Structures are given as C-alpha cells and as structure tokens.
Structure 1
C-alpha cells in the first residue's frame, strides 16, 4: 500500500480557543498512529490567528510521547528563523528521546509576515538577502562535525553528542528545493496543497537528478495534498466548504480562524469568489473515501511519489478523524502498484 502520512497545521477553529487546537492535534495524532499512518508532521507559522502552533519541535515531543510507533517531525522548521546550532541541538534531543521516530523537515520561507520575521531574527547576525543556503550548509556541518581546523565552531559540540540528527527533508513548492534536495542527497516533500508550481516538474526533477549520499542512498519523495473524505460526496462537500472559505480569505490577506461549514454556507459569495474556489479545488481532493484514494493513488503514480501526506482543514474534529481513518482504509483497497 502507498504509505499515507498527516500534515497538521493545528488550525484554530471559529468559536474555539486557540489552545484547544493543540489538544486537537494530539488527539488526531493518536488516531493516525492507531490507523497506521507512516508519519505525523507539524508546521511552523507565526502571528497567524488561524494557526495555534509556532514551535513544531515542542509539539513533536508532545506527540511522540503520546503515540507508540508513528514517525513525528517538522514539516517544517523555517530555517531562516533559527540559528542552525539551536536546530541541531533540539532535534538531537528529540532523536535521543524517541530514537528512530523523528524527522527534520526544513523550509526556506519565514512562515509569517515581514515584521514578525524581523522580530524573530533581530538578535541574529544581520545579513542581506536569502541566507537559507548558508544556514543549511552550517546545519549539515553540525550534523557531520565537519568544521575545518581553525574554524571557531570546531570545538563546539551539539549535544547530546552520541545522537545523530534525524533524517533531513527539504520542503518546497517549486523546483528549486526539489533540485537542491536531489543535489545534497536528502528527502524531498512537495507542498501541492498550496503550490502554484507543477508537482510533476518538481517531483520528477528530484527523482531524475538525485545524488546518493550517506544520509540517503536513494531518492524518496513525499507529495503533500489537501483532502477531505466522508461517507457521501454531499457530506464531503459540506466539510470542504470550511477549507474553501478559509483559503478564499487567506488569498486576500485575512487570516482568521477556520470557519464552520455553517458559516461557509451562509457566506454571500460573489461570482468572482466562486470562480476562485473552483480554481483552488484543482489542488483539493474531496469526496467519498474510495474515490479520493483512487485520485491520490493515480496522482502519486504520475509524480512518482513514494508517499502521500494529507492535510485536512475540517472544522468538525470527529469528522476530521473519520476522514483520516476512512482514507487510509480506502487506500489499502487500491490495486498494488
């Protein structure tokens, strides 16, 4: 069976306190663990009223402690926001506490607006332009202990020193991260759920250009998608209406909590807004479980994805849990290959 995983943004729901979203995340992680999902990843976002978790490494520890077998990771740490040594230390700690169950996904974006990004980074050494590559190179040196003689970091040890960094993944929504991941020999995860870039171009380029490394001998690509499954197409459409309105508002700079289906149904959509929703639906898989699973399996085959990671912005938490459970059961019914 094609492995399925979960990407959880800890969405704040309309009518609920933001801190409730953190507990919703832990409950869903337990359900995904029991259902057989391969991994559970948390994102990093700041100053967004719609997202409750700005610190995936804290949630990773909580979820790993609350589950038994599922891999838990960052999808991802926004590396420009953090000193690489701090990332190395925190993820070595997590790997030491939960050996063989931690993933370190890295992103280039700040995960927030410009002012908040400045507040996050203002005590770091100032540098003009995009410093992602520089920080990535430093993180890899912390991983390998490869600072040369005479380098000031040569004598600094990322603790715990007897634990390696967990597997590194590069996250992307364009071809840049795909080709970089291939060049340095790490896993790649493509964010189809919000990307404007063609998934086939990024995923196939990663597979074609991959260079084996001590970290990863063969390419491994995850395709992240948005999906909502329910017993009937009508019910799935009702659940998906929360995502539709939420995405519509995000696209015009409104970052409020995830609306309920009732709020979405009552919203007075203009013709232009309905057209925008139809365009966004091209990146959103909605329907009965077997139909959605068949679409995901076909998409995975065409992009040569090794795994599919599902994010579901469903307001009703019981319906969200059932969506994940039905989807993995339906995926098990798909023909092999």
Structure 2
C-alpha cells in the first residue's frame, strides 16, 4: 500500500490569525501522527497573508516534540534564502534532538516575491543569476569536509559535528531537481500541486537515472499533491471552493487569507477565472474517500511514487483534520508503534 504523508503550509483563514494557524499545525500533526502518516513536512513561504509557515526549522522542532512516530521535515528549506552552513547546523541540531526522525527537504525557489527575496538576502552576496547549485555544492562540501586543505573553509565544521546530517530530499517542479537528486543519490519530491511540468516524466527520469549513495541506496520518490476529502462528493466540492477562489486570486497577484466556502461560492467568477479553475482542478483530487483514493492511486502508479504527500489548503481546520482522517481510513493507514524519545541529559 502506498505510504501517505502531509505537506503543511499553515494556511491562514479569513477571520483567523497566523498565530492560530501555527498552533493548528501542531494540532494537525498530533492528529496525523495518531492516524499513521509517515512524514509531516513544513513549507517555507514569506510575505504571504494566506500562509503562516515562514520558518520550517522552528516548526519542525515544535512538531517533532509533540509527536512520536512520524518523520518531520522541511518541504522545504529554500536554499537561496540561507547560508548553507546555517542550514547544516540547524538540521544537525534537530537531528541531535530527534534522531532518525528529521528530513531536510531543499528547494531552489525563494518562496516569495522578488523584492522580499532581496530583503531576505540583503546581507548576503546577492546575485542576479540563479546561485542554487553553488549554494548546494557548498552545503555538501561543508558536510563532507570536501574543501581542499588550502581553502579557507577546510577548517569549518557544521556543529554539532558528531551528528550526521538528516536525509536530503530535493524539491522540484521540473526536470532540473529530478536529475540533480538522481545524480547525487538523494531523495526527490515533485510538486504536483502547482507544477505545470509533467509529473510522470520528472519522477521516472529521477528513478531511471538514480545513482546510489552512502546516504540512500534506493530511490525515494515522493509526489506532493493537493486533495480534499469529505463524506460525500458534494461536501468535498464545497470545501474545495476555497481553493478555487484562492487560485483565481493568486493568478491576479492577490494572496489574501483563505475565504470560507460561503464567500467562495458567491464570488462572481469571469469566464477566464472559470477556465483557470478548470485547469487547476486537473491537479487537485476532490471527492469522497473512494474517489480520492482512486485518483491518488492512479497518480502513484503513473509516477511510480513511493509516497503521496498531501496538502489540503481549506478554510476550516476541523474539516482539514477530517479530510486527512478519511484519507487515512481509505488507504488503510494504521499507526505504527511509538518510537522511543531521547531523554535530556542530566545536569552535570
């Protein structure tokens, strides 16, 4: 049976607060852990009124402390925003505190608009060109002590240096990250929920070109996709109307908090809006548990995904929890035996 995981952006509903959305993420993570989901990943976005998830490393620590079974990780850390050494040290600290439960998902995009991306990096060496590969190579060289002896960074060690870096998964929405992940023997997660590129091609390319590494002997292919599940198709369609309006607004450069189904259903959509919704619905699984299971199973088979990672960006937190419950039940997901938690060291 295909494994299920969760990608959480900590959505902010209209009339709610970002602070409550972050607390809701911890509540949802506890719920998912009890249901038997395999991973729980936190996104990194900035300057968006509808997304509260701006610091995944902080949320990973909070959620790992509140759960016992799931792996917890970043979906992902947007490497253009961070010094590679800082990323290494943050995730080594997380791995030290929660050994064997942390994932380091890394993305190429800044997760925001151009001006905000400059504000995030204004004290760094900002370049106009894409410097992701340079930053990623620096991260690997620092972790593996790969700099030559005459290089200034040869003596730099990411601390704690007696803790291995968690598994790396590259995120992507095209072939680029798929090929890079395959080349270095890392995991790969494809963003089907917003990608215009063909998911099947990217996922198969990764699997076909995968080269085993010390960290990963077999490919790990994760398909991130959007889904809304309710007891009936009609109820699911109503909940998904929030996603429709959010997508239409995004296409116009509006990133407002998520509206309720009542507001979304009453919105005066233009013909262009409705065509945008129709196209976006091709990436979105909506319906009863049986309907969504069939759609996700079809996607997993076509892409040869090892896992399906589901994101559900709807207005009501209780309905979001219920959607994940129904999905877990449809796939016969069961909780695993609790993992032992590390005990704090005694004061010396």
Taking structure 2 as the reference length, the TM-score comes to 0.94
Once residues 83 and 300 of structure 1 are traced to their aligned partners in structure 2, the CA distance between those partners, rounded to angstroms, is 35
Once residues 116 and 74 of structure 1 are traced to their aligned partners in structure 2, the CA distance between those partners, rounded to angstroms, is 20
Three-state SS of the structure 2 residue aligned to 1:72 is strand
Aligned to 1:134: 134
Three-state SS of the structure 1 residue aligned to 2:110 is coil
Aligned to 1:90: 90
Does 2:239 correspond to 1:239? yes
Once residues 251 and 200 of structure 1 are traced to their aligned partners in structure 2, the CA distance between those partners, rounded to angstroms, is 25
Tell me by how many angstroms 1:105 deviates: 0.4
Does 2:179 correspond to 1:179? yes
Once residues 44 and 276 of structure 1 are traced to their aligned partners in structure 2, the CA distance between those partners, rounded to angstroms, is 25
Once residues 25 and 126 of structure 2 are traced to their aligned partners in structure 1, the CA distance between those partners, rounded to angstroms, is 35
Aligned to 1:301: 301
Tell me by how many angstroms 1:270 deviates: 1.7
Task: Check conservation: 2:312, 2:320, Cα contact below 8 A.
Answer: yes
Does 2:36 correspond to 1:41? no
Tell me by how many angstroms 1:267 deviates: 0.7
Root mean square deviation, CA, Å: 1.0
Once residues 291 and 125 of structure 1 are traced to their aligned partners in structure 2, the CA distance between those partners, rounded to angstroms, is 49
Tell me by how many angstroms 1:142 deviates: 2.0
Tell me by how many angstroms 1:316 deviates: 1.1
Aligned to 1:312: 312
Once residues 142 and 72 of structure 1 are traced to their aligned partners in structure 2, the CA distance between those partners, rounded to angstroms, is 23
Tell me by how many angstroms 1:140 deviates: 0.8
Aligned to 1:159: 159
Tell me by how many angstroms 1:73 deviates: 0.3
Structure 1 runs of 4+ aligned residues shifted over 3 Å read none
Aligned to 1:252: 252
Taking structure 1 as the reference length, the TM-score comes to 0.97
Once residues 78 and 116 of structure 1 are traced to their aligned partners in structure 2, the CA distance between those partners, rounded to angstroms, is 13
Aligned to 2:14: 14
Aligned to 2:345: none
Residues 1:128 and 1:315: Cα distance change in structure 2 (over 3 Å)? closer
Task: Check conservation: 2:49, 2:255, Cα contact below 8 A.
Answer: yes
Aligned to 2:115: 115
- Unaligned residue ranges in structure 2 (runs of 5+): 334-348
Task: Check conservation: 2:143, 2:157, Cα contact below 8 A.
Answer: no
1:212-231 maps to which residues of 2 (within 5 A)? 212-231=212-231
Once residues 305 and 269 of structure 2 are traced to their aligned partners in structure 1, the CA distance between those partners, rounded to angstroms, is 36
Task: Check conservation: 1:294, 1:331, Cα contact below 8 A.
Answer: no
Tell me by how many angstroms 1:271 deviates: 2.0
Aligned length: 333
Once residues 332 and 301 of structure 2 are traced to their aligned partners in structure 1, the CA distance between those partners, rounded to angstroms, is 15
Once residues 51 and 316 of structure 1 are traced to their aligned partners in structure 2, the CA distance between those partners, rounded to angstroms, is 14
